[in-house]
Amino acid sequence: MKIRFWGTRGSIAVPGPETVIFGGNTTCVEVTTDSGQNAIIDAGTGIRILGDSLLKRSEIKSVHLFMTHIHWDHLIGLPFFGPLFHQDFHVVVNGCRRCFEGLKRVFSSDYVDGTWPVCFRDLKAKIEPPSESPTGTITLGDVVVEQHRLQHPQGGLGFKFIEDGKKFVFLTDNELTEEGWQGTCFKDFVEFCSEADVLVHDCQYLPEELVTRRGWGHSDTRSVAKLAVETGAKELILFHHDPWRTDEGVHKIVDRCGEELDRMNAWITVYAAREGSTITL
Ligand SMILES: [Zn+2]
Ligand SMILES: [Zn+2]
């Protein structure tokens, strides 16, 4: 499978000279399976350009949208996703039912004062709601996608794509704590991420920054390094860069995570997700 980052930023889009290396668009990741199925994780501002790219690829008329949750930074690009306005496009939305209802509200002109001028019913694409239970397994051809609840305010889902024995795990907006949240604890994530070939995880903060941000649903370099070591991950990619983190600051996050891995005598490749980059698994 191929994994491409269209948006790597958390919280709010931050274009500008200080974010040109790692990117300023919010969460959007494209997964293309070996059999040609197309999956998109989250609809942050990065999905706008992905939509343009899909419309140019005439062989793709169907996409699976996996929503981690519907906080603004993961949803705000959806009204600009071009395929929604094409009647020959089929969009299957995965995630939880509640999330789908929230997603529709973005287009609701009668919700409060109205948040967007185009109504959901006026979108031309065929849009299919989630049919699986929140923790159920989804199949995309030969690819199995497993889901795991996140430790995040209002909840959410993380995803694991397994194809031909290769594992890609995507967990953003997830606060790793020993004691856990709502029945989920650190060892549950260790099990879910077990022997990931690529582990992408939220790493918005340094340990000293997290002290005043506990409960916000994000992780730091120390807890993420520990998870990578305990799961036996081969490659760790840091994600959901803080909007106030410049390119230089993201390099520092990677260095600090590397120091944590060194302290644990772990040989794991670590780097930060970069908008526009592709991984082949
Ligand atoms: Zn977020
Ligand atoms: Zn969030």
Please tell me the distance between residue 35's alpha carbon and the centre of ligand 1 in angstroms: 30
Q: Which ligand is nearest to the CA of 151?
A: 2
Cα(157) to ligand 1 centroid in Å equals: 12
Residue 48: its pLDDT value, please?
Answer: 98
Lowest mean pLDDT among 91-95, 180-184, 248-252: 180-184
**Spacing, Cα 152 to ligand 2 middle (Å):** 7
Q: How confident is the model at residue 134 (pLDDT cuts 50, 70, 90)?
A: low
The bound ligand whose nearest atom lies closest to the alpha carbon of 154 is 2
Cβ partners under 8 Å of residue 255, min gap 6: none
In the reported structure, the alpha carbon of residue 123 is separated from the centroid of ligand 2 by a whole-number distance in angstroms of 26
pLDDT of residue 258: 98
Which structural domains are found in the chain, ordered by start?
Answer: 2-280 (3.60.15.10)
Asked if residue 127 lies in contact with residue 104, where contact means CB atoms within 8 angstroms, the answer is: no
How many angstroms separate the CA atoms of 105 and 194, rounded? 36
Could you give the CA distance from residue 173 to residue 11 in angstroms, rounded to a whole number?
10
Q: How far is the CA of 178 from the centre of ligand 2 (A)?
A: 20
Q: Which ligand is nearest to the CA of 155?
A: 2
**Tens digit of each residue's pLDDT (9 = 90 or more) over 64-108:** 999 999 999 999 999 999 999 999 999 999 987 778 888 888 887
Question: Does the global pTM surpass 0.75?
Answer: yes
Question: The tokens of 251 are what?
Answer: 């390099």
Percent of residues, the chain, with pLDDT higher than 70: 97
Ligand of minimum distance to the alpha carbon of 70: 2
CA 33/CA 64 separation, integer angstroms? 11
Q: Which helix (H) or strand (E) holds 220?
A: none
Which residue, 12, 17, 1, 30, is CA-closest to 273? 30
Please give the Cα distance from 37 to 59 (Å, whole number).
10
Q: In angstroms, how far apart are the furthest CA atoms of the chain? A: 56
Provide the b/e sequence for 167-205 (b: ≥16 CB within 10 Å). Answer: bbbbbbbbbbeeeebeebebeebbebbeebbbbbbbbbb
Instruction: Give the closest ligand to the alpha carbon of residue 44.
Output: 1
| Residue 66 CA to ligand 1 centre (angstroms) | 14
Res 247 pLDDT > 90: yes
pLDDT of residue 183: 77
